[in-house]
Amino acid sequence: MSKQFSKDMFQGKTYKMFIDGEYVPAEDNALFSVEDPFDSSEIAKVAEGKKADIDLAIRSAERAFNEWKKVTKAERAEIIEKMGALFEKSLDRLAVLESYQTGRPIREMKAQLSRLPEWFKYYAAVLRTMEEHVRPFGEGYHAFSSRMPLGVVALITPWNHPLLILTKKLVPALAAGNCVVIKPSELAPLTTIELGEIANAAGLPKGVMNIVPGFGKEAGVALTKDKRIAKIDVTGGTETGKVIAGIAGNNLTKISCELGGKASVLFFDDMDVDRAVNAAVFAAYIAAGQTCVQGARLLVQQSVYAEFIDKLVQKVKSIKIGNPLDPNTQMGPLISENQRNIMKRYT
């Protein structure tokens, strides 16, 4: 466990929504609980956003967009770079909280989160070096291309990689000059909500980034159905993605979906078996198998099948299961009872 940060720092807190640069309660003061997947104890209370709160966040983003779209690329790059630097300084704290709310081992979360500041640095560099194009068009004419922000973008993120998936949506959206309304998963919203402090400290103008935790049937539906949204970027289950894509199609809203999948891993007889087994176990059991690129199917050449399976079984048996905040733990619990029940139906 981190010497500086522990789960005791987060227990008993009430997390509010982040709208227009301020932490605010839900309009009806509704709250929901976020539970520790390891022992089902309550970590914190969280403001439960609903339609009225989504409306408030979108109005805030619309107001902010009128000014944010005028900010120069160099100025946006500076703010994004500051956000990345502050994020990097907060890595230990965020890793503990991410591990606490998702049940993923702290060793995994520290490794994963340590790569995220790169996104801020990269897009800041892109902004500083991006050039528009002037194209040949014919005598007497002058043609050029210019990239324009879309407006208010909805970012819907899952519980398995809360900060990783949010970062790769959020940073390019901000770099492009958009404002955002984020709806994190109700199972793991805490680290996302804490990004509000980082945004304010970096000088991100009020309303450019808004965070409304809540449930899909209320906050998620309200956000995706709203015609003021210029684009929806969603990561989640396939069935949820189908519903959101249908809503987007009805409103002619731009949409990007990253949905569930089952990855196959192929093993041939020219492989190093020990190395291949290590790779297979990593692919299958990282995040307790709760990832859209999980190596769910192992296709092994018949001539090496017996040796591979024998070593695979021994490797899996050696995985250390336990408290996610113990540095020695290699695999933690599934995120919720519902996910456990779903998993049991696969066996």
The catalytically annotated residue of 48, 98, 186, 292 is 292
Per residue, the 3-state secondary structure of 95-151, as one string, reads: HHHHHHHHCCCHHHHHHHHCCCHHHHHHHHHHHHHCCCEEECCCCCCCEEECCCCCC
Strands 179-183 and 17-19: unpaired
Strands in the chain per DSSP E: 13-15, 17-19, 22-24, 31-35, 42-47, 133-135, 143-145, 152-156, 179-183, 209-211, 231-235, 254-258, 263-267, 295-300
Sequence-separated contacts (24+) of 245-252 with Cβ below 8 Å: 247/221, 248/224, 251/225, 251/227
Task: Reduce the DSSP state of residue 53 to 3 states and report it.
Answer: helix
Distances (CA, A) of 143 to 70, 136, 139, 343: 22, 7, 11, 56
| CA Rg value for the chain | 22
C-alpha 96/C-alpha 199 separation (Å) is 20
Task: Reduce the DSSP state of residue 250 to 3 states and report it.
Answer: helix
The catalytically annotated residue of 27, 78, 218, 258 is 258
> CA neighbours within 13 Å on the CB side: how many for 283?
17
Query: Exposed, middle or buried, 258 (CB in 10 Å: 0-12/13-18/19+)?
Result: middle
Annotated catalytic residue 258: yes
Q: Active-site residues: which are they?
A: 258, 292
